[in-house]
Structure 1
């Protein structure tokens, strides 16, 4: 006798979770989706044949595995609590995969509440781009009980090529923030290096291609080429407002454990300047290069300053 595939609910339809739904449906899973902006849920349902639930409670009550993918801690809190929240609907034996990039303490607060409903919460933020999500090549960063992780590995294997377990609840979120800290530092350095090359007269695309064929050719550099070379045309990977949100989470975590973050402080000054310039809805990494170009041109126009424009 063949065991039935687990039923799934995906709560929050965004840039990463939408291709997750597509892959899960192609793998034959029954998937129920819900989103605060209902049209997003209806859109992915029309494409994939997923069911649409009116509330997180309804979605969670139908699923063996619940995948939550939301913007921030506030959104997560609203979706779990209240008469229409996940906690009101989740069934005993269900596993909740919390993939949102949020404070580790938020996950640690939610885990016993989910356990009180007879279910299990794993913090499972993902690392990777929209393209990697589409190809099922994400990386899951997991905190929580190992036995619960073992139960949901077949689902994760549909979505990811790597599943890394770091220990107790919250440790997956800590690693996501550590990785994002590194990536955002790379984004700033990449923007500076590209603008440096451009200011000397080197073609933007040629300079970027040199990065991709050098020791600097990390996956992050490779998949962000279009965003840096054609920033007005390429698809947004992550908005600047989400970058700023993650930087605040990283800063709070570093302060709580006394970790020095000199690079974070430098990055945050540039991010804050970009936010103040009203760029919060632009791509959060390539927009830094645009800001640096603007700053260089403004400096070149100042009286008494040497003109470095080309």
Structure 2
């Protein structure tokens, strides 16, 4: 299939590479052209050009503002869409943003799925992402061959916007686990039990999970492990969770406490570091000089 990737960040680049390896024709657009060129696929000059070329468009951007900018205007995604094409919005967004861009997509006779993913770059490379998809079933059937290349599991969770809601629910748990693991490790270290010893118990205990296992290197060897999910994006997602909770009347004290801790880490310059670096903030309150 002809697939366009809009957004050549860590996840977008990995998805483009995986799809190319599987034999799909791929074009990439990114506002910073150098990032798109680094993927090794064809590069579009505009988001409109990428969308006009493709049958399936996967969008992977950092936040709601970037998504709204990418869809709108004469060079945006919506302007290039052809009738019958399908856009899969994989970014983590406010559900209201999903509905806003759906109007632009629908005006062009195309379909939008909100399909945020659970998983990191290594899982993209292995084709083991989890897609949480909201939107029409027939559109999902149309793009399933593309998503199957990237995913071990595809959940159709309901109508448009449901994918964004479930992704925020998943991240509520994920980010709580990250905070709890960081606190547990620092507690044990302060009591003179090495971090590696504690982690070995964690991954073989009742709290063992895929997340706890694959974050081990980030917690034990932070200076040698690439960033998978930066703390500034963690703060963004916790903000979205708080906004949704306020709209629907959900009381979420743990998520609020986790956000306060992450914002404090950002205040001392840790935003670009991996989410596991929250353990370092708990230790000393400032980032490592390295």
- Structure 1 and Structure 2 fold alike (TM over 0.5): yes
Following superposition, the deviation at residue 268 of structure 1 comes to 1.4
Partner of 1:197: 188
> Counterpart of 1:219?
210
Instruction: Give the Å deviation of 1:163.
Output: 0.3
1:289 aligns with 2:290: no
> How much does 1:23 deviate?
1.3
- The match for 1:16 among 11, 19, 34 is 11
Q: Which has the larger radius of gyration?
A: 1
- CA deviation after TM superposition for structure 1 residue 294, in Å: 0.8
1:174 corresponding residue in structure 2: 165
Q: What's 1:82 paired with?
A: 73
The runs of 5 or more residues in structure 1 that have no matched partner are: 1-5, 297-310
1:107-166 deviations in whole A, cap 9, x for unaligned?
111112211101000000000011111101000000000111111111111000100011
Of 6, 26, 44, the residue aligned with 2:21 is: 26
The alignment's C-alpha RMSD in Å is 1.1
Q: Secondary structure in 2 aligned to 1:186?
A: helix
2:126 to 120, 135, 154: 135
Contact 2:48 2:77 in 1 (8 A): yes
Aligned to 2:39: 44
| TM-score, normalising length: structure 2 | 0.97
TM-score (normalised: structure 1): 0.91
CA contact (8 A) 2:71 2:104 kept: no
Aligned length: 286
CA–CA distance in structure 2, aligned partners of residues 295 and 138 of structure 1:
33
Partner of 1:35: 30
Runs of 5+ consecutive residues of structure 2 not aligned to the other structure: none
Matching residue within 222, 228, 241 for 1:237: 228
Q: Which residue of 1 aligns with 2:52?
A: 61
CA contact (8 A) 2:115 2:134 kept: yes
- Return the alpha-carbon distance in structure 2 between the equivalents of residues 272 and 27 of structure 1: 40
2:148 counterpart (157, 182, 207): 157
Among candidates 155, 175, 187, match of residue 184 of structure 1: 175
Aligned-residue offset at 1:295: 5.0
Tell me what 1:305 maps to.
Answer: none
- Kept in 1: contact 2:268–2:285 (CA 8 A): no
TM-superposed deviation, 1:233: 1.5
